[in-house]
């Protein structure tokens, strides 16, 4: 296949090669409007023949041909002259550097054959019409030996790939030996080799000398380039090869650049790139044997330095990874939580000092998977081998309590087995503190219950004790006997109610397994509440539903309704009255829900009292222990319902709302 470079300012469809490029498979055509776009590739002999098709023979078109000849001396150049060109124009094209000239119109097959012959002549190393020159048989073997020697020398640099300074120094030495440089210096921005993995600052303007050969040691130590001026600035802004001026009248260069060339004794400055940005500058002196560098040599050195830039960047990344690893290991070693990393083969990849102390009792002992307690090892094995999700759990030993978490460090595509992180946190003191706090809370609660219990019993004993003191003197008085009977009945009911509250609070909830008519249950509970306060009170029951049957624990639900009704009756002045309304409403999941709204004839709950009404032992009265609504809420919740105590915001608002599920 012939690699053809096409330089034209017309589109490919308008050129003579339109039919050729679309029909012939023997040509690989690279089309560019200007030769400068492919100068480096042409210099590196990437093309077999160049075809120039200018729109007109302007000075710029002739300059393009001349630039191609200067950059690639062995590249055959064919020029197609515009229609109507004269003989003198043909001479100018040949003088500019073209090897062949063609005129319109062109025949595509003949043009293809011509270009292929020209490319074969170039490969044979002869001009048109000359016979190919055969090279001696020993020449390729000698060239191969030289190439292998150079490759062997440069391969020695690979051993220092993790230390960018030594890598650069050995690279400089080998490059100096191969090219025969008198001196060379490579300036690089300082890489991150500290323990902390901080990135290279964006304003890193100092380029220090990383490696040099042929320069005094004191100059290497104290001299640096800057990105803000001189060679550093020029090659950072324009990453191109820069030659030092060789004439007495230098071109318009920054005086700082000339001064740096002079100090370093350099003739050429080449940017060091990592294919993303310029990371440094290499300054080359002259040859040991004299002579100038050719463009091809400098281009090869440029590409070698680009590979050096990539290697330096990889070295920096290595140091950042090492720094990150050391930082992470230091953090894990410093924390009090035990950390252990188990590999896919259940080997211990890492264990910090805390977990060594937990498992082995010392800081220096090595930890193996077999050192883990069997319950902990079993959970870790499930995560590593099976990918199971393990919730944090507690592991207790005779001396300590640990909270254990196993976190999978998942591999790509979820492959098993996988690496896992085991965390063990000493909860011994925390558990002791929690137990002490619970004990203190229990003692406080016991004290509160004792005070409430004593207060309620004392309130009941006062009228009984008074009658007991007057019993002998007044027993014959009928009025005294009626008062004693009423006191015994009232205070016995109070003590009985308090006893039932304490029993309901202490015992486990019974499942709701009975069916009971709701209207009957409400009326019976109201009757008991009215009897408790002495027989007064009225009930207004409103329902928009047909007779409702609820599934419940009859005794418990009746007691809960009794507590709600009694709270309303005790809150009303004069003749108390309760309004109870029954409704039904669908829930979010489509089930039917019974709503019982209770409103008394009193003033209702204050906002603060409504928020705390169901708290144990909270009461705003002088009598009672504050367990009525607490018991009611617990019973309702045991029936999968909800009890809400609300302050009134409108005249008709209920005070208590009970939500119960309706049987399907």
DSSP H/E element including 400: none
Give the integer Cα–Cα distance in Å for 6 and 15. 10
- Give phi and psi for 280, each to the nearest 5: 180, -175
* Angle at 118 (CA atoms; ends 112, 119), nearest 5 degrees: 90
- Arithmetic mean of pLDDT, 128-143: 40
Backbone angles phi, psi at 416, to 5 degrees: -120, 150
Instruction: Give the single-character DSSP code of 382.
Output: I
Query: Which tokens go with 658?
Result: 């009970």
CA–CA distance from 106 to each of 15, 17, 78 (Å)? Answer: 10, 9, 13
The predicted model scores a pTM of 0.42
Query: For residue 196, is pLDDT > 90?
Result: no
10 Å CB burial of residue 96 (0-12, 13-18, 19+) is buried
From the number of C-beta atoms within 10 Å of its C-beta (0-12, 13-18, 19+), residue 469 rates as exposed
Predicted confidence band at 197 (pLDDT cuts at 50, 70, 90)?
A: very low
Tell me the pLDDT band of 130, cut-offs 50, 70 and 90: very low
Distance, CA of 294 to CA of 296 (rounded, Å): 5
Per-residue pLDDT reduced to its tens digit, 14-53: 555 655 555 445 788 888 888 888 888 888 888 888 988 8
**What value does the mean pLDDT take over residues 466-486?**
86
Please tell me the CATH superfamily of domain 335-426, with its number. PAS domain (3.30.450.20)
Predicted pLDDT at 201: 47
Query: pLDDT category, 617, cuts 50, 70, 90?
Result: confident
Specify whether the CB–CB gap between 192 and 298 falls below 8 A.
no
Q: What is the rounded radius of gyration, in angstroms, for the C-alpha atoms of the chain?
A: 50
| pLDDT value at residue 512 | 80
| Residues forming beta bridges with residue 596, ordered by sequence position | 582, 658
Question: Considering only CA atoms, which of 326, 343, 355, 345 is closest in space to residue 408?
Answer: 343
Whole-angstrom distance between the N-terminal and C-terminal Cα of the chain? 85
Lowest mean pLDDT across 11-25, 115-129, 144-158, 576-590: 11-25
Dist CA 252 CA 258 (whole Å) = 10
Among residues 593, 605, 616, which one has the least CA distance to residue 655? 605
Cβ-based burial of 552 (10 A; exposed 0-12, middle 13-18, buried ≥19): buried
Question: Per 3-state DSSP, what percentage of the chain is helix, strand, and coil (rounded to 5)?
Answer: 45, 20, 30
Q: Pull the structure tokens for residue 88.
A: 């003198």
The model's confidence at residue 459, banded by pLDDT at 50, 70 and 90, is confident
Cα 408 to Cα 387: distance, rounded to the nearest angstrom = 8
Helix 164-179 and helix 295-334, axial crossing angle in degrees, nearest 10: 170
pLDDT at position 170: 86
Q: Does 555 score more than 90 pLDDT?
A: no
Q: Are 359 and 350 in contact (CB under 8 A)?
A: no
Q: Which residue has the higher pLDDT, 455 or 55?
A: 55
Helices and strands in the chain, H and E counts: 19, 23
pLDDT-derived band of residue 158, with 50, 70 and 90 as boundaries? low
Q: How distant, in Å, are the alpha carbons of 114, 518, 583, 646 from that of 543? A: 107, 11, 7, 21
Does 405 score more than 90 pLDDT? yes
Q: 421 forms bridges with which residues in the sheet?
A: 341, 407
CATH number of 2-124: 3.40.50.2300
**Does residue 202 carry a pLDDT above 70?**
no
Helix (H) or strand (E) holding 598: strand 592-600
pLDDT at 241 over 90: yes
Q: What is the pLDDT of residue 373?
A: 92
For residue 421, report the phi and psi dihedrals to the nearest 5 degrees: -105, 125
Q: What percent of the chain has pLDDT over 70?
A: 86
Q: Which range is most confident: 294-303, 407-416, 452-461?
A: 294-303
What is the rounded CA–CA span in Å between residue 167 and residue 163? 6
Q: Which residues, 6 or more positions from 266, have their beta carbon under 8 angstroms from its beta carbon?
A: 183, 185, 244, 260, 283, 284, 285
Strand partners, 273: 278
Q: Within 13 Å, how many C-alpha atoms sit on residue 249's CB side? A: 0
- pLDDT score of 128: 45
Which residue has better confidence, 480 or 12? 480
Q: How many Cβ atoms sit within 10 Å of the Cβ of residue 166? A: 16
Quick one: pLDDT band at residue 138, thresholds 50, 70, 90? very low
Contacts of residue 149, Cβ cutoff 8 Å, sequence gap at least 6: none
The predicted pLDDT at position 453 comes to 72
Please answer whether residues 181 and 215 qualify as being in contact, where contact means their C-beta atoms are separated by less than 8 angstroms. no
Reported CATH class of domain 510-661: alpha beta
Give the side-chain half-sphere CA count within 13 A for 41.
Answer: 16
Residues 617, 627 contacting (CB under 8 angstroms):
yes
Dmax (CA) for the chain in angstroms is 160
3-state secondary structure at position 217: helix
Question: Where are the chain's structural domains?
Answer: 2-124, 150-319, 335-426, 432-502, 510-661
Mean pLDDT of 484-498: 80
Strands 77-81 and 100-103: parallel
- pLDDT band at 260; cut points 50, 70, 90: very high
Query: By C-alpha distance, which of 228, 237, 202, 223 is closest to 283?
Result: 223
What tokens does 531 get? 């009897």
Report the distance separating Cα 441 and Cα 639, nearest Å: 29
DSSP label of 44: T
Q: Indicate if the pLDDT at residue 108 is higher than 50.
A: yes
Instruction: From 377, 380, 387, select the one nearest 418 (Cα to Cα).
Output: 387
- Residue 528 banded pLDDT, cuts 50, 70, 90: confident
Task: Look at residue 298 and tell me whether its pLDDT is greater than 70.
Answer: yes
Q: Give pLDDT, residue 359.
A: 86
Domains 2-124 and 335-426 share a fold: no
- How far, in Å, CA of 109 to CA of 412, rounded? 55
pLDDT confidence of 439, banded at 50, 70, 90? Answer: confident
The two structure tokens encoding residue 219: 């100059």
pLDDT band at 275 (very low <50, low <70, confident <90, very high): confident
Question: What's the mean pLDDT in 512-525?
Answer: 88
**What per-residue string of b and e applies to 148-158 under the rule 16 or more CB within 10 Å gives b?**
eeeeeebeebe
441 vs 508 pLDDT, higher one: 441
Tokens of 25: 């498979």
Q: Is the pLDDT of residue 321 over 70?
A: yes
> What is the distance between the alpha carbons of residues 556 and 277, in angstroms, rounded to a whole number?
80
pLDDT band at 422 (very low <50, low <70, confident <90, very high): very high
Residues in the chain: 664
CA distance 303 to 296: 11
In this prediction, residues 352-374 reach a mean pLDDT of 83
Q: Under CATH, what is the fold of the domain 150-319?
A: Beta-Lactamase (3.30.450)
- Give the mean pLDDT of 62-82: 88
- Residue 505's pLDDT is 66
Answer yes or no: are the C-beta atoms of 47 and 4 closer than 8 Å: yes
Split at pLDDT 50, 70, 90, the class of 211 is very high
Q: Where are the alpha helices (DSSP H) in 475-511?
A: 478-506
Whether pLDDT at 13 is above 70: no
């Amino acid at each position: 296949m012939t690699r053809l470079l096409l330089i034209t300012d017309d589109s490919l469809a308008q050129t003579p090669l339109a039919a050729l490029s679309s029909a012939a498979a023997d040509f690989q055509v690279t089309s560019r409007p200007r030769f400068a776009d492919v100068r480096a590739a042409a210099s590196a002999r990437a093309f077999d023949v160049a075809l120039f098709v200018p729109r007109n023979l302007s000075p710029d078109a002739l300059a393009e041909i001349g630039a191609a000849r200067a950059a690639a001396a062995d590249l055959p150049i064919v020029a197609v002259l515009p229609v109507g060109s004269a003989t003198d124009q043909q001479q100018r094209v040949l003088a500019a550097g073209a090897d062949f000239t063609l005129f319109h119109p062109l025949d595509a097959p003949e043009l293809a054959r011509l270009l292929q012959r020209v490319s074969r002549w170039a490969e044979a190393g002869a001009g048109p019409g000359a016979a190919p020159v055969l090279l001696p048989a020993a020449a390729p073997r000698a060239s191969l030996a030289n190439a292998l020697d150079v490759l062997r020398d440069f391969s020695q640099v690979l051993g220092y790939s993790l230390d960018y300074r030594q890598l650069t120094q050995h690279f400089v030495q080998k490059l100096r030996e191969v090219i025969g440089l008198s001196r060379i210096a490579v300036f690089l921005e300082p890489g991150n080799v500290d323990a902390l993995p901080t990135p290279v600052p964006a304003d890193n303007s100092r380029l220090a000398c990383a490696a040099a050969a042929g320069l005094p040691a004191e100059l290497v130590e104290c001299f640096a380039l800057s990105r803000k001026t001189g060679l550093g600035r020029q090659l950072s802004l324009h990453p191109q090869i820069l030659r030092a001026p060789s004439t007495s009248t230098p071109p318009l260069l920054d005086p700082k650049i000339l001064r740096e060339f002079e100090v370093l004794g350099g003739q050429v400055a080449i940017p060091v790139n990592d294919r993303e940005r310029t990371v440094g500058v290499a300054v080359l002196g002259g040859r040991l044997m004299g002579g100038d560098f050719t463009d091809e040599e400098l281009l090869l050195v440029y590409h070698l330095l680009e590979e050096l830039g990539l290697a330096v960047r990889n070295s920096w990344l290595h140091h950042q990874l090492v720094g990150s690893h050391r930082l992470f290991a230091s953090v894990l070693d410093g924390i009090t939580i035990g950390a252990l990393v188990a590999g896919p083969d259940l080997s211990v990849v890492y264990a910090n000092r805390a977990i060594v102390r937990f498992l082995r009792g010392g800081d220096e002992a090595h930890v193996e998977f077999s050192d883990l307690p069997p319950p902990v090892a079993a959970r870790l094995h499930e995560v590593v081998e099976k990918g199971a999700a393990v919730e944090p759990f507690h592991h207790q030993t005779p001396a300590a309590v640990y909270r254990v978490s196993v976190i999978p460090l998942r591999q790509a595509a979820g492959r098993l087995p996988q690496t896992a992180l085991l965390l063990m946190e000493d909860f011994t003191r925390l558990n002791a503190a929690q137990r002490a706090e619970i004990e203190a809370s229990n003692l406080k609660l016991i004290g509160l219950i004792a005070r409430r219990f004593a207060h309620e019993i004392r309130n009941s004993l006062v009228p009984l004790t008074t009658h007991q003191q007057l019993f002998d003197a007044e027993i014959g008085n009928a009025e005294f006997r009626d008062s004693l009977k009423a006191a015994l009945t009232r205070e016995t009911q109070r003590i009985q109610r308090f006893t039932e509250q304490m029993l309901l609070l202490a015992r486990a909830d019974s499942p709701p397994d009975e069916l009971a008519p709701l209207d009957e249950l409400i009326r019976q509970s109201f009757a008991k509440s009215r009897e408790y306060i002495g027989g007064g009170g009225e009930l207004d029951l409103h329902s928009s539903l047909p007779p409702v049957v609820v599934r419940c624990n009859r005794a418990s639900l009746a007691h809960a309704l009794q507590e709600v009704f009694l709270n309303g009756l005790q809150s009303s002045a004069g003749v108390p009255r309760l309004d109870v309304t029954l409704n039904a409403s669908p829930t979010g999941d489509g089930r039917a829900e019974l709503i019982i709204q209770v409103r008394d004839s009193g003033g209702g709950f204050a906002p603060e009292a409504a928020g705390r009404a169901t708290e144990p032992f909270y009461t705003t009265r002088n009598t009672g222990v504050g367990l009525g609504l607490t018991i009611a809420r617990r019973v309702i919740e045991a029936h999968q319902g909800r009890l809400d105590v609300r302050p009134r915001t409108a005249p008709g608002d209920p005070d208590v709302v009970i939500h119960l599920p309706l049987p399907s």
